[in-house]
Amino acid sequence: MLSQIELTLQPATLARNFRPLAITAIVMSGIYLGLTHLPRQQVQSNFLFSVEERIPFWIWSIYIYWGALIVSFFVPLCVKNPMHLRNILSVNALSFIFNAMIWTFIPVGYPRPAFPADDPSLAAMIYGRLTQVDTPLNSFPSGHASMMTIVLWIAYALGGRRGALLGGFAVLGLLSIFTTKQHSFLDAAMGILTLALAFILFRARRVSLP
């Protein structure tokens, strides 16, 4: 599906890819934020393994958290082949639908730590704004983990030094959801699973076409 993928910074490619990516980002963000602020009568409690309860809260890792989200938008922006971009956006959309269905019918909240109000750092300010806009709901599955899996998919298809560098950053982005106390291991695992399911279904549909 991403065989011989190429990334480029050519202005024509960036301009061509910007519109579908921008529309996708706006629609996904609107639905996600709408669901996370939707009044719920019953919210399930997230499950934390004892080992992840001992993971430190590194507020500075919010830079990696947001950086990974920016990369997840910028990398598809540079995809040279329109068919490759279409495949990426299709799998991403299908995965998001799976996630949104779970967020809607089985809302799960993550027990975030108390915000350090006396911290004057930029990281603390960014973290504070995040917690105001993005409530602890919709933690399961992790949409962040789904997007990092897409970046890993692109990195694998890209290969070489650039693929290894991109894949390494995607792993850091995945780890940042734990050090910023946004998601649990189960949240991440389910986010990866919904992306994998979307990939399998989309690939099967393509194979079955005449």
For residue 175, tell me if it sits in a domain.
Answer: yes
- Decide: 149 and 88 in contact? Cβ < 8 Å: no
Quick: pLDDT tens for 168-185.
999 999 999 999 999 999
Cα 115 from chain centroid? 23
Say whether pLDDT at 13 is over 60.
yes
Cα 179 to Cα 161: distance, rounded to the nearest angstrom? 27
| Cα-Cα-Cα-Cα dihedral sign, residues 116, 178, 64, 96 | negative
Residue 70's CB is within 10 A of a number of other CB atoms, namely 10
* pTM (2 d.p.): 0.90
Residue 10 lies inside a defined structural domain of this protein? no
| Position 195 in a domain | yes
pLDDT digits over 32-46, tens only? 999 988 888 788 889
Average pLDDT, the chain: 91
Give residue 206's pLDDT.
58
Given its phi and psi angles, is residue 181 left (phi above 0), alpha (psi -120 to 50 degrees) or beta?
left
- Which amino acid does the sequence have at 204? A
- Asked if residue 46 is part of any domain, the answer here is no
- Other beta carbons less than 10 A from residue 165's beta carbon: 12
User: Is 191 a residue whose pLDDT tops 90?
Assistant: yes
Structural domain containing residue 186:
58-108+116-208
Average pLDDT rounded to a whole number, residues 174-200? 95
User: What's the structural domain count of the chain?
Assistant: 1
State yes or no: pLDDT of 75 exceeds 50.
yes
- Asked whether residue 164 is assigned to any structural domain, the reply reads yes
Residue 85 placed within a domain: yes
